[in-house]
Chain A
Amino acid sequence: MKWFDYSAPESVSGAISALAAHPRARILAGGTDLLVQMRAGRKETDFIVDVKRIPELNEIRYDSDGLTVGASAPCYRLYAHADVAARYPSLARLAALIGGTQIQGRASIGGNLCNAAPSADAVPLLIALGARCRIAGQAGEREVVVEEFCTAPGVNVLGPGEFLVSLLIPPPAPGSGAHYERFIPRNEMDIAVAGAGASVVLEDGHFRSARIALASVAPTPLFVREAGDALAGKPVNEESINEAANLARDAARPISDMRAPAEYRRRLCAVLTRRALTRAIEEARGNR
């Protein structure tokens, strides 16, 4: 790697000043994307701002507003957290699916989102869960919903000097459930050929609402609003699930690459959406 300088500010304002002083700075969370990309020469910088010592970026907290996940909190802390395991089991499962044990010791959900890969496993679930991004910068704070955060492969809405502070996930509604399902040719440690995240809220055997998002089938993680909306008011049965799965498939805009041809990915979208919905429904039924 090329030379760079390093600082590890201990406050949000400290990070804002460090970023203002170094216009070419890059932010370091777990480094499991950034350091790999810098070593491969795909990213360069003269200054690294390590945000892991900032309390707001490290906290995981549940209160009446929902779950706050600090942007740089590593995956293992999510699945080890009692409130996450009890109230957001889909998020705990997701954190245990990224990489392997060592990667989970470093990798953060915030880094997964900011890296803005189309294949980022956390993003479809965050969209399904209705998560919002809390962003800080010199001009103050702002919020962006996760489905609007990634704008192109590797690009996000953050302006110069801005960074992600935390993700806010609303409290789970009664009768709700969620799940992310991906397809990889191995059992562990691979990049999603396609993935689907779903959340549902059930009431009297019907869907009250649902949200569905896909990975690896568009230039950014893809929110398929119409697939979830189509479920609202429908009975919870195979026909409804298939209809939503087909809408998700039709919305996908996959490419062919070394991992899979586009048509294969399209079919996967229907299968994975069905599986994600089915598991989310199971969870919702246990959650009344």
Chain B
Amino acid sequence: MPTTVRVECTINDETREFLCEPRQSLLECLRDVLGLTGTKEGCNDGNCGSCTVMMDGRIVPSCLVLGVESQGSEITTIEGVARGSELHPLQTAFLESAALQCGICTPGFIVAAKALLDRNPRPDEHEIRLWLANNLCRCTGYDKIIRAVQQAAATLQEAK
């Protein structure tokens, strides 16, 4: 008889416990079990990056991670990027540069770009494009996204 599994992990700095079926992806667990609907589903096969979350210090496609695999791990989703009502400089830059239209890809881009800026505060354009090659956007044509990431990098540098 197939069983439901109890999973405990840290999500956005909070300990969370949830029940899931082993076949449910982390993406489904976040959205349907935990109600964290900021993370989006695009392709559900690893290509588009809209489901990107941070897991144990790396960005991963949450559609290709089983919920049960997150046992004991530390996860950050788009909901954990802002500090309360204070937006992260990346979020501000995306808004100000109009780096989104429909917005489906945006949470994935922001989580991915934040991981880049956390490890490389001054990426050049090539580094940004390469890092974000696993994130697709059907609306913006990417230029505004790249500029928003550069803008956020500059803001973060100034704040130092």
Interface residues of A (CB under 8 A from B): 1-6, 8, 28, 30-32, 35-36, 39-40, 48, 50, 52, 74, 76, 99-103, 105-106, 187-189
- A4 and B130 within 8 A (CB): no
Number of interface residues, chain B, beta carbon within 8 A: 33
Known A50-B69, A99-B46, A102-B49; contact A32-B64, beta-carbon cutoff 8 A: yes
- A6 and B22 within 8 A (CB): yes
A36–B61 CA distance with the chains assembled, in angstroms: 12
- A102 and B46 within 8 A (CB): yes
B112 at the interface (CB under 8 A from A): yes
- A101 and B64 within 8 A (CB): no
- A3 and B134 within 8 A (CB): no
Known A101-B59, A102-B59; contact A36-B134, beta-carbon cutoff 8 A: no
A106–B2 CA distance with the chains assembled, in angstroms: 26
- A-B pairs with beta carbons under 8 A, tally: 87
Query: Which residues on the B side are within 8 Å of A35 (C-beta)?
Result: 25, 63-64, 66
Main secondary structure of the interface of A (DSSP, over half): loop
Complex partner residue of A106 from B21, B61, B115, B131, CB under 8 angstroms = B61
B68 at the interface (CB under 8 A from A): yes
Complex partner residue of B58 from A32, A39, A48, A105, CB under 8 angstroms = A105
Residue in B closest to A50 when the chains form the complex, CB atoms: B69
Residue in A closest to B56 when the chains form the complex, CB atoms: A105
Known A101-B133, A189-B133; contact A36-B52, beta-carbon cutoff 8 A: no
Sorted nearest first, the 6 A-B pairs with minimum C-beta distance are A100-B134, A6-B22, A105-B58, A188-B133, A100-B133, A1-B23
A50–B66 CA distance with the chains assembled, in angstroms: 10
B3 at the interface (CB under 8 A from A): yes
Residue in A closest to B2 when the chains form the complex, CB atoms: A3
Query: Which residues on the A side are within 8 Å of B45 (C-beta)?
Result: 36, 39-40
Smallest CB–CB gap between B70 and chain A, Å? 11
Query: Which residues on the B side are within 8 Å of A6 (C-beta)?
Result: 5, 22, 66, 68
